[in-house]
Amino acid sequence: MRILVHQAISKDIPTVSDILNEAAQWLEYQEMPLWGEDEVSLEGVRPDVEAGLFYLAFCADVPVGVIKFQTEDPLFWPDVPDGESAFIHRLAVRRIFAGGSVSTALLNWAVSHAHRLGKHYLRLDCAADRPRLRFVYEKFGFLHHSYRQVGPFFVARYEYVLLADA
């Protein structure tokens, strides 16, 4: 299955919202709620899509997944030097395409994109109490960095080394 990743634009706001909503509803059904309705609504994703932070994965011109890619994350990573990292959030895949290849393609794209930007690390955070999700990232090659309490969220922070420090 060939997957292409493109930056989401304003016309893609409904698609980004729909994919995130589908994932959020599935997680809710699994009794593992993650994102609130306000975070995945059209108005909730609009600012980040319009800022160029969301990217869509396509398989045969069908949108199958989404990822948010940032070059700063002061909320979850205030303790890392500016400019050395890229950060990912909100990785979501349509249920019909669940199983690894879409999420792996999105992670590979994020690694490549961060590397092209000259970053030393690709970083992410996830709920510390989600061992299956953490295993996905660890299996891909992310290394556990630390835990952090951010408001009501206790997260495990991970990093993927792109470039050795000079």
The pLDDT tens digits of the residues spanning 23-68 come to: 999 888 888 878 888 899 999 999 999 999 999 999 999 999 999 9
**Residue 153, SS3?**
strand
Residue 82 DSSP code: T
Going 155 to 160 to 162 to 164, the CA torsion angle's sign is positive
Residue 65, token pair as written in the block: 């997944």
Residue type (1 letter), 91: L
Amino acid at residue number 145: H
> What's the mean pLDDT in 75-79?
96
pLDDT digits (tens, 9 = 90+) for 91-140: 999 999 888 699 999 999 999 999 999 999 999 999 999 998 899 999 99
DSSP annotation of 8? -
Question: How many angstroms separate the CA atoms of 103 and 97, rounded?
Answer: 9
Assess whether pLDDT exceeds 90 at residue 7. yes
Give the model's confidence band at 165: pLDDT under 50 very low, under 70 low, under 90 confident, else very high: low
Q: How many residues does the chain have?
A: 166
More confidently predicted of 19 and 26 = 19
